[in-house]
Chain A
Amino acid sequence: MIQLDHVTKRYRGGRGILDLSFEVHEGEVFGYLGPNGAGKSTTIRTLMGFLRPDSGLAKIHNRDCWEDAAKIHEHIGYLPGEIGFLEGMTGIGFLDVIAGMRKLSRLEYRDELIRRLDFDARTPIRKMSKGMKQKVGIVAAFMHKPSVLILDEPTSGLDPLMQQLFLDLVLEAKSRGATVLMSSHVFAEVERVCDRVGIIRDGRLVAVEDVRRLRETQRKVFTVHLREGLQAETLVAAGCRVTNAQVTKSGTNEVDVEVQGDYNAFVRALAQCDVANIEVRELNLEEVFMHYYASDTAHANDDATGVSGKGGIGE
């Protein structure tokens, strides 16, 4: 449905995207994550036909995003990362213009969205708060029930209640069969609605992961309090994935160990240590992906944490 095939788009400053390939399947919600400046917006602008790739091909509905932009836009709902409106208009006036340009005659869903998002659309846009403008943007993106939604950081500016409602709207669109590409910084929302996530860093796709599978094979983190510092090395030597080690105020050594499946090895390693306490928690998606966000030093830790982008790119 949405395809990027070896797309490269470089800006003069060197930023941009490099040889990017991935596909979002029909009916799928794809989370697009990455630090600021990684190339998320460049990807989205390329998909919207605002930028022409230096090389490679971006396609939606099997049409070239640059050449056939207008044709593709019939089926697209787009929420930009930074919203600008026509000046001197009310929210409803603006929505009317967009509906008119789309030749949208049935406005029931638009009105339903305005009601559910609970805002006064007759307010002049210049008097609107950031959250309210975001709501106008959401209505403009969803009102024609598009088959493809491209959403750039859609929940920014929304209060927690409205963030929930927005995620419900995404899930409703998905249940209608819509394909969604959604960039985000909020892991909790990605975890809730996305089927797969792609991580981009420095213009390159570093991983594509299946969210359900990640959840199923969720690692657990054991925080082990050791009475002697050197024993942390014992754990590492025994093959445990030590993600964090620090000395607490009380003088004990706190070591975070990620365990996935092989508990026996972990227990055997622990048996060699003087353990003061053990806490256990599940790793959330944020921690799973945080090392992709960090700088190059994170690469060096990939092996230690055992979370790598292997498998799944372009799947």
Chain B
Amino acid sequence: MSKALFRSMFTINARAMVSYGFGMTIYQWLFIWVYPTLTKSSAMNSLLRSMPQGLLKVIGYNNGIGQLADYMAGEFYGLIYIIIFAIFAVTIAGKLVAHLVDNLAMAYLLSTPISRVRLAVTQAATLVTGTAIIAAFCTLGGILGARWFAPHTHLDAGRFIELNLVGFLIFAVVSAYSFLFSCVSRDERTALSLSSGLTLVFYAFNTVGLLGTHLAWMRRLSLFAAYNAQNIVHGNAHVVLVSTSMAAVALLLFAAAAIGFRRRELAL
């Protein structure tokens, strides 16, 4: 880890981190803002009741929208959150290594006494910090948003924090495999294709796996199956187990990235 490099990488990417975080918060607020109106409309609840269970699962409404946390888990954390967070992780991971190799700036960074492993660790730390910032934005944004825009509803802050913590760790894994591709791919385009491709496959497997029991095996292959937002807000998820395993997987992937970067040859 190099402090000077971390500082500059953080500064360069801070704008993206804050804009993504802020953008997601605004999105959350919009959802929270319409929530009181939705609960008052009995039409919405009867519509949901009339839908088949499989479809409700896919759109994340299998528990109805009786509570704000259910609604947020289904509406925001089941879809928008995953998509925006994935785009953030994939692009920033690409920028932190593959892009610098492509535009030759890496030649300068590697001509200093910072070893490749230290450099990779520093870049990984920047990425994880960015991921944590987005997660923090969503956590605080959700809690404050509920207080401001839906003051008469109850949001279980503890469960909501768990929801965001697991979300952060899931995306630490997305960041980690994107970072691995960024470290070992021959150029940024390849790195971005591989990481976005794998993320899409995970997402598709998760969605299709929900459609029927005969397709459930597909979910087992998806990283996002570990992120069951509805179960977390209802306290039915193995939060500690999922969190520790995600943290371990992310660490392993980051270590593999650093080793891959150490061994690769660079045409700088």
Instruction: Pick the contact of B8: A51, A83, A86 (CB < 8 A).
Output: A86
User: With an 8 A cutoff between CB atoms, is A45 at the interface?
Assistant: yes
B115 CB contacts on chain A under 8 angstroms: 69-70
Task: Determine whether the beta carbon of A50 is less than 8 Å from that of B268.
Answer: yes
Task: Determine whether the beta carbon of A88 is less than 8 Å from that of B12.
Answer: yes
Distance (whole angstroms) from the CB of A12 to the closest CB of chain B: 12
Q: Which has the most chain B C-beta neighbours within 10 Å: A49, A50, A100? A: A50
Instruction: Pick the contact of A97: B5, B110, B111 (CB < 8 A).
Output: B5
User: With an 8 A cutoff between CB atoms, is A108 at the interface?
Assistant: no
Q: Which has the most chain A C-beta neighbours within 10 Å: B103, B105, B267? A: B105
User: With an 8 A cutoff between CB atoms, is A101 at the interface?
Assistant: yes
Interface size on A, residues (CB 8 A): 32
Residue of A nearest to B5 (CB): A101
B268 CB contacts on chain A under 8 angstroms: 45, 48, 50, 80
CA distance A52 to B262 in the complex (A): 11
Task: Determine whether the beta carbon of B265 is less than 8 Å from that of A50.
Answer: yes
Task: Determine whether the beta carbon of B103 is less than 8 Å from that of A78.
Answer: no
A51 CB contacts on chain B under 8 angstroms: 265-267
Task: Determine whether the beta carbon of B114 is less than 8 Å from that of A100.
Answer: no
Distance (whole angstroms) from the CB of A186 to the closest CB of chain B: 22
User: With an 8 A cutoff between CB atoms, is A76 at the interface?
Assistant: yes
B111 CB contacts on chain A under 8 angstroms: 48, 73, 76, 78, 80
Interface size on B, residues (CB 8 A): 27
The proximity string for B residues 1-25 relative to A, scoring 1 for CB distances below 8 Å and 0 otherwise, is 0111101100010000000000000
Task: Determine whether the beta carbon of B112 is less than 8 Å from that of A101.
Answer: yes
Q: Which has the most chain B C-beta neighbours within 10 Å: A49, A85, A101, A102? A: A101
Task: Determine whether the beta carbon of A101 is less than 8 Å from that of B105.
Answer: no
Instruction: Pick the contact of B108: A45, A85, A87 (CB < 8 A).
Output: A85
Task: Determine whether the beta carbon of B112 is less than 8 Å from that of A50.
Answer: no
The proximity string for B residues 144-187 relative to A, scoring 1 for CB distances below 8 Å and 0 otherwise, is 00000000000000000000000000000000000000000000
In the complex, how many residue pairs between chain A and chain B have their CB atoms under 8 Å apart? 91
Residue of B nearest to A99 (CB): B4
Residue of A nearest to B102 (CB): A84
Residue of B nearest to A101 (CB): B112
Distance (whole angstroms) from the CB of B258 to the closest CB of chain A: 13
A70 CB contacts on chain B under 8 angstroms: 113-116, 118
Instruction: Pick the contact of A93: B8, B104, B109, B267 (CB < 8 A).
Output: B8
CA distance A51 to B266 in the complex (A): 6
Task: Determine whether the beta carbon of B114 is less than 8 Å from that of A101.
Answer: yes
Q: With contacts A73-B113, A101-B114 known, is A84 near B105, CB below 8 A? A: yes
B114 CB contacts on chain A under 8 angstroms: 70, 73, 101
Instruction: Pick the contact of B107: A50, A76, A101 (CB < 8 A).
Output: A50
CA distance A98 to B113 in the complex (A): 10
A107 CB contacts on chain B under 8 angstroms: none
B108 CB contacts on chain A under 8 angstroms: 78, 80, 83-85, 94, 98, 140
Task: Determine whether the beta carbon of A52 is less than 8 Å from that of B265.
Answer: yes
Instruction: Pick the contact of B103: A74, A84, A93, A97 (CB < 8 A).
Output: A84
Task: Determine whether the beta carbon of B104 is less than 8 Å from that of A83.
Answer: yes
CA distance A87 to B102 in the complex (A): 12
In the A-B complex, list the 9 residue pairs whose CB atoms are closest, starting with the nearest.
A100-B4, A84-B104, A70-B115, A78-B111, A101-B112, A84-B103, A84-B105, A74-B113, A50-B266
Give 18 CB contacts A-B under 8 Å. A49-B110, A51-B267, A52-B265, A73-B110, A73-B112, A74-B113, A76-B111, A80-B107, A80-B268, A84-B104, A86-B8, A96-B4, A97-B4, A97-B8, A98-B108, A100-B7, A101-B112, A101-B114
Which residues of A approach B to under 8 Å, CB–CB? 45, 48-52, 69-71, 73-74, 76, 78, 80, 82-89, 93-94, 96-102, 140
